Amino acid sequence: MIQFKNVVKTYPGGVQALKGINLTIEQGEFVAIIGLSGAGKSTLIRSINQMHQITGGELIVDGQDVSKLSGEALRRFRRNIGMVFQSFNLVKRTTVIKNVLAARVADMPLWKSMLGIYSKSDKILALEALDKVGILEKAYVRADMLSGGQQQRVALARCLAQKPQIILADEPVASLDPLTSQQVMEDFVKVNRDLNITVIANMHHVDIATKYSKRIIGIKAGEIVFDGPSSELTNDHLTEIYGRNLQRDDFMGVE
């Protein structure tokens, strides 16, 4: 369970990205966060694994206040949280399997990780993760040989190889075409359903968010302006979230 209690994030320049967020997300939920760029979506997601340090309030993940964590304790905490990025963030010039195995590095003794010696169980875990996202046969191919959608699946497999409780996805499909986006989103849904992993995703496109996520959080200028089931999200809400009428750019074009 993730609990935001009046969470505030002020950047060094004085910009307030989060203005007292209160939010509870149960284990196994699928949550999409929507809003304009610069509204604080990315800050919200990145505060959960403390990629962005919060400056006020409490953020409790599975009973511990994460804002108090640092050093080794913070790294140990982060191992339970997978993260997927808009730009995939893979090492393009190495093989897929090595990219996935990188997720195991943080759990390995230092000398083993320096030499790159993975245990048999780690290798199997990585292959199983690839199998779950349906690209097992690409395991020994170089990552730059893959299409964008396949690369994002590798990134998702890398997450899974971490055996996370929570997956944070920062605009996971924003740089993919509509068809591939849907396939990748199906994978997220599958992972969420089969493994009971909490998925929290920032979404640029409203239609993708409402199609795949049961719960929508709308955020505007660092404050939550909508939080509810996607079925209850009306056009009025959207106008409020976006501060304007929706435009074509806000949709990806899926039915």
Partner 1 sequence: MKWLKNLIRPEPLVLGNGKIVQPKMSIMVILVPIFIVAILFSAYIIEFDIFILLRRGYQFFVIVGRMIPPDWSYFPEVIGPLVETIMMSIFGTLLGAFLSLPLAFLSSDNIIKNKVFLWTNRMVVSLFRTLPILIFAFILKYIFGIGTFAGTLAIALFTWLIMTKMLYEIIETVDMGPFEAIESSGASRLRAFIVSIVPQILGQYISIALYNFEMNVRSAAILGYVGAGGIGLLLNEKLGWRRYDQVGLILFALLVTVYVIESISRLIRTRLS
Partner 2 sequence: MSENILKMYKKRPKDWIVKWGSFLVIALLIAVSVPYVDYNGLTDYGQEIAKSIIFGIIQPDLSLLFDFSKTEAVPYLLLETACIAFLGTLVGSVLALPFAFISSRNIVPKWVATIGTFFITVVRTFPAFVYGLMFIRVTGPGPFTGALTLAVSGIGMTAKLYVETIEDLDKGIIEALDASGCNAIQKIRYGIIPQLMSNFASITIYRFEINVKNASILGLVGAGGIGYPLISAIGAFRWSDAGTLLFGLIVLVLIIEYGSGRLRRKLATGL
Contact in structure between 44 and 33 (CB atoms under 8 Å)? yes
Candidates 176, 129, 183; CA nearest to 148 is: 176
Closest contact distance (angstroms) between CB of 208 and partner 1 is 30
Q: Which of 83, 100, 126, 166 touches partner 2 by CB under 8 A?
A: 83
The interface with partner 2 within residues 112-131 (CB under 8 A) comprises 113-114, 116
**Amino acid (1-letter code) at residue 172:** P
- Based on the shown chain and the rule CB under 8 A, indicate whether residue 195 belongs to the binding site for partner 1: no
Report the Cα–Cα distance between both ends of the chain, in Å, rounded. 32
Please tell me whether residue 174 binds partner 2 under the rule CB under 8 A.
Answer: no
User: Which structure tokens are listed for 188?
Assistant: 């997220």
Torsion of CA 5, 11, 12, 16, to 10 degrees: -80
With CA atoms as reference, report the closest residue to 157 among 141, 180, 134.
Answer: 134
228 binds, among partner 1, partner 2, none (CB under 5 to 8 A by kind): none
* Segment interacting with partner 1, rule: CB under 8 A, options 31-39, 49-57, 68-76, 136-144: 136-144
Interface with partner 2 includes 87 (CB under 8 A)?
yes
> From the CB of 167, what's the least distance to partner 1, in Å?
20
3-state helix, strand, coil in the chain (%, to 5): 45, 25, 35
Contact criterion met (CB below 8 Å) for 96 and 67: no
d(CA 155, CA 83): 8
Which of 8, 23, 105, 225: binder of partner 2 (CB under 8 A)?
A: 105
Question: Binding of partner 1 at residue 120 (CB under 8 A)?
Answer: yes
1 contacts partner 2 (rule: CB under 8 A): no
H or E segment and range at residue 31: strand 30-34
List binders of partner 1 among 26-85 (CB under 8 A): none
**Residue 39 Cβ vs partner 2, minimum distance, rounded to whole Å:** 21
Q: Name the segment binding partner 2 (CB under 8 A); options: 14-22, 30-38, 80-88, 127-135.
A: 80-88
Binding of residue 124 to partner 1 (CB under 8 A): yes
Number of residues that bind partner 1 (CB under 8 A): 10
**CB contact set of 129 (below 8 Å; sequence gap of 6+):** 100, 157, 158, 160, 161
**Residue 136 site contact among partner 2, partner 1, none (CB < 5 to 8 Å, cut-off depends on kind):** partner 1
Binding site for partner 2 (CB under 8 A): 49, 51, 72, 74-79, 81-83, 85, 87-91, 93-94, 98, 102-103, 105-106, 110, 113-114, 116, 142, 144-145, 155, 158, 162, 168
